[in-house]
Structures are given as C-alpha cells and as structure tokens.
C-alpha cells in the first residue's frame, strides 16, 4: 500500500511511538514514528469512547492526556502527524546511554542536528538536564524531558543541558528542538560478506529494504541500537526475513490476545547477530526478543529500553491525533520488556566496539556451522 493511501487510512495500533525530542538510553535517541496502517488489528473502543471525530483544542487534549496518567499518551497537530507519517520527528539529534557506574553519556549524535551544531559529541557525559541531575532520573524520565512535554513539545522549544567531556569542565548548552528527518535503513559492510543493516525505525517498506540488503550476505549484523519502534507489521515482516514462519509474539488489546506470526520462507541459514542497547525500544524490542526466543540470533550490546506497550491513535475532527496506550505485548516465550527491557546474550565489555565483538561472535557461529 502506498504512503499516500496509508496517510488517509483508518488509524489503528502502534508499537513504540514516543516522539523523542532527543534521547534514548544506551543509546536512547530519536526518532519516533507514528503508525498509519489499516493492516493491523485495532482494539475496539480502546482509545476511549467519543474521542474519534471529537472537537478538542490542543489545551483540552493536553489536559485530557495529563489526567489519563498514560506516560506514552501524546497529542499531535495535523502538521506534526503528517511530518511523522513522512518520517520526520521532533528532536535535538542525540542519543544517550546509562553506563555501569550510573552516569549518563551521549552515545550518538545526528550530523547537522541541534546537538551537533552545539558541539555535543559522543562520549560527553550528560550531567544536568534543565538543572536536574541526569543520573538521578530514570532513563525514561530523561527521554521525556529531552523530547519535550506539553507546551514544550514543539519546534523551537529549548532544553538546557550541562555536559562534560572526559575530565574537562562542565559546560552548559541550550538546544532548540527541531523537526528532523530519519533515514530508517542504512547498509554497510563490516567485513567481506558481512553486511551491517541498521534500522532506526519501522516505517513503510523497512522489511523489504532489510530483505534486499541481507540477500546474498555471508553473515548479517542487524543493528537495532537506538531503534525507536514504529509499525508492528513492519517489525513482524522484518522478523520474517530471518524466520521460516512461526510465532513472533502477541499483544493484549481490548481484553483480547492477538498473535503475530512470521510469513514462511525466510532465511534461517545465514549467521545473524543483533545489536541492541538502551535505545532499542518497543517494536524493535519485540523483534529482538522474538529472534532471541526463537534461537535465531545472538543479541549483543546492553539492556534494551523496556517499553512493552501498544498505542492506538484516534483522529480528531480537525485532523489532529490523540494517541493512548491500549495494551501490552509479549515475545514468543511470554516475556515482556516493559519496565525492564531485554538482556543481550553477550554484553559489550568496556572499551570494545559492538561491531568488533559482533565479528568475533559471527566467526564462532561460522565455525559451529
């Protein structure tokens, strides 16, 4: 189905839409992608009676969300939602991670984004966020503050960071949130025949791009670090690239359990490693967890984000969208990442690059094969 058709289609369920304004942990980063496909099962009445087609001002919608107690609830203006459908997102262009000593550091910086323009670099420690000690906040709270909440969730709003490089002085930077564009799938070669496929978010066509990139590879490194989730059908189809049918997971919505399965005929022979970190969230966690449960891939990295909830968008009369949590999902083994995340099979030792470790693991898998 084309992007244009999907934009006008009935809104249904989403896995992992947070609208980050710039931080996923470990790398908690950007972007967030809104769902817009009729091919998913909607939970009947899950978004709340009378919301679809309702006439609410932005202030009224935000008051409703605030009263709901739903951490992942969100309001999008018509233009904001259109931007997200096209792979654009509001953010500052950085990802952060929580290290073993409890400190919070920058793990990724988007070129030409607000953070890069302010001189923020990978490895910089995030000391304070709008005056609050970053290491005293849960990573999910850091995410929420960086993305902007309420009136701060708009282009041009600011967030103040205190960052420190190595043992140097702490410096203050003020970043202005901006609408950035995603590059959902990136492809490169780590070694002859070893293809690295990075997936930043699960939007239209991602599964087919992953399938094309993996075709003919001697081994595959699927990089889900900082992958913020998105369309569950794309995550399921991506799992199907590496599985020959079978269960991928399930989710609860509207009091019903609904299963997710892979199409038959996927590649089950090519050695596969999946890189994860604190920025691997929601639909990306489901994909990683399914491949782990099915013993199809070795997970390398650090604990994932821990978002196991499903959201349903509801379009209002003016074209704006309210998004509310309607359920939770589980992997084939019945695991939920919600609040805890998933633990990788092989953690990355301090000072070693995940890609280097992935090549070593793949070499071992090749010997066993």
Write the pLDDT tens digit of every residue in 27-58: 333 333 333 332 222 232 333 444 666 778 77
30 Cβ contact partners less than 8 Å away, ≥ 6 residues apart = 20, 21, 22, 23, 24, 89, 91, 92, 93, 94, 95, 110, 180, 182, 226, 228
Residue 108 predicted with pLDDT over 80: no
Q: Which residue has the higher pLDDT, 104 or 269?
A: 269
Instruction: Please tell me the least confidently modeled range out of 12-26, 232-246, 321-335.
Output: 12-26
Q: If pLDDT is split at 50, 70 and 90, which confidence band does 226 have?
A: confident
Would you place residue 367 in the very low, low, confident or very high pLDDT band (cuts 50, 70, 90)? low
Query: Which of 188-192, 235-239, 274-278, 312-316 has the least mean pLDDT?
Result: 312-316
- In a 10 Å sphere around its CB, with 0-12 CB exposed, 13-18 middle and 19+ buried, how is residue 171 labelled? middle
**pLDDT recorded at residue 366:** 67
Read off the pLDDT of each residue in 302-306 and give the average, rounded to a whole number.
92
The chain-wide mean pLDDT, for the chain, equals: 80
| Structure confidence at residue 136 as a pLDDT band (50, 70, 90) | confident
- 282 assigned to active site: yes
Task: Spot the catalytic one: 307, 314, 320, 336.
Answer: 307
* Predicted local confidence at residue 32, as pLDDT: 35
Residue 199 phi/psi, 5° resolution?
A: -120, 110
Closest among 328, 323, 193 to 271, alpha carbons compared? 193
Taking Cα atoms as reference points, which of 174, 202, 200 lies closest to residue 187? 200
Look up the CATH superfamily of 3-181: PDZ domain (2.30.42.10)
User: Is it the case that residue 235 has pLDDT exceeding 80?
Assistant: yes
Q: What average pLDDT does this structure show over 171-193?
A: 90
Does residue 143 or residue 21 have the better pLDDT?
143
Supply the pLDDT for residue 49: 40
Other Cβ atoms closer than 10 A to 190: 18
Query: What pTM, to 2 d.p., does this model score?
Result: 0.71
Nearest to 331 by CA among 288, 295, 302: 288
Q: Which percentage of the chain shows pLDDT scores above 70?
A: 81
Helix axes 206-214, 232-241, angle to 10 degrees: 20
- Which ranges in the chain are annotated with CATH 3.90.226.10? 185-307+327-368
Q: Considering the chain, what percentage of its residues have pLDDT values greater than 90?
A: 44
pLDDT of 208 strictly over 90: yes
Question: Between these two residues, 208 and 184, which has the higher pLDDT value?
Answer: 208
pLDDT for the residue 114? 93
CATH 2.30.42.10 range(s) for the chain read: 3-181
pLDDT higher than threshold 70 for residue 63: yes
Calculate mean pLDDT across residues 188-207: 93
Instruction: Give the pLDDT score at 85.
Output: 66
pLDDT of 170 > 90? The answer is yes
Kindly give the residue spans of alpha helices, DSSP state H, lying in the chain: 3-7, 58-68, 78-85, 114-117, 139-147, 206-214, 232-241, 283-293, 354-368
Question: Per the residue annotation, which of 107, 282, 302, 336 is the catalytic one?
Answer: 282
User: Looking at beta carbons, which pairs linking 211-215 to residues 24 or more positions away fall under 8 Å?
Assistant: 211/241, 213/185, 213/187, 214/241, 214/242, 214/267, 214/270
Least confident of 2-11, 48-57, 76-85, 183-192: 2-11
Pair 139, 97: CB distance under 8 Å: no
185-307+327-368 is classed CATH 1.20.1440.230:
no
Candidate from 3-12, 202-211, 329-338 with smallest mean pLDDT: 3-12
pLDDT level of residue 19 (50, 70, 90 thresholds): very low
């Amino acid at each position: 189905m084309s992007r244009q058709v999907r934009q006008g289609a009935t809104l249904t369920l989403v896995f992992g839409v947070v609208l980050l304004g710039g931080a996923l942990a470990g790398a908690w980063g950007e972007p967030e992608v809104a769902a817009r496909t009729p091919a998913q099962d909607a939970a009947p009445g899950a978004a709340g009676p009378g919301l679809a087609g309702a006439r609410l001002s932005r202030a009224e919608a935000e008051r409703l969300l605030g009263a709901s107690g739903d951490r992942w609830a969100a309001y999008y203006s018509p233009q904001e939602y259109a931007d997200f459908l096209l792979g654009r997102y509001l953010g500052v262009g950085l990802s952060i991670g929580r290290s073993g000593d409890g400190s919070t550091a920058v793990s990724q910086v988007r070129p030409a984004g607000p953070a890069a323009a302010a001189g923020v670099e990978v490895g910089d420690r995030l000391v304070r966020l709008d005056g609050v000690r970053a290491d005293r906040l849960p990573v999910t709270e850091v995410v929420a503050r960086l993305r902007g909440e309420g009136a701060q969730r708009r282009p041009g709003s600011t967030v103040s960071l205190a960052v420190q490089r190595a043992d140097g002085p702490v410096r203050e930077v003020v970043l202005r949130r901006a609408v950035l564009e995603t590059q959902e799938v990136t492809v490169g070669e780590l070694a002859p025949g070893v293809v690295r496929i990075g997936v930043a978010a699960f939007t239209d066509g991602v599964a087919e791009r992953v399938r094309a990139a993996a075709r003919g590879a001697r081994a595959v490194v699927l990089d889900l670090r900082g992958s913020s989730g998105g369309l569950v059908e794309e995550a399921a189809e991506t799992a199907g690239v590496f599985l020959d049918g079978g269960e991928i997971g399930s989710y609860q919505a509207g009091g019903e359990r609904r299963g997710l399965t892979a199409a038959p005929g996927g590649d089950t022979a090519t050695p596969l490693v999946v890189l994860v970190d604190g920025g691997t969230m929601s639909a990306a966690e489901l994909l990683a967890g399914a491949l782990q449960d099915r013993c199809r891939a070795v997970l390398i990295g650090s604990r994932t984000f821990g978002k196991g909830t499903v959201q349903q968008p509801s379009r209002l009369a003016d074209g704006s969208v309210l998004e509310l949590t309607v359920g939770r999902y589980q992997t084939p083994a019945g695991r939920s990442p919600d609040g805890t995340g998933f633990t990788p099979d092989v953690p990355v030792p301090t000072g070693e690059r995940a890609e280097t470790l992935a090549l070593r693991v793949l070499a071992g898998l090749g010997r066993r094969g």
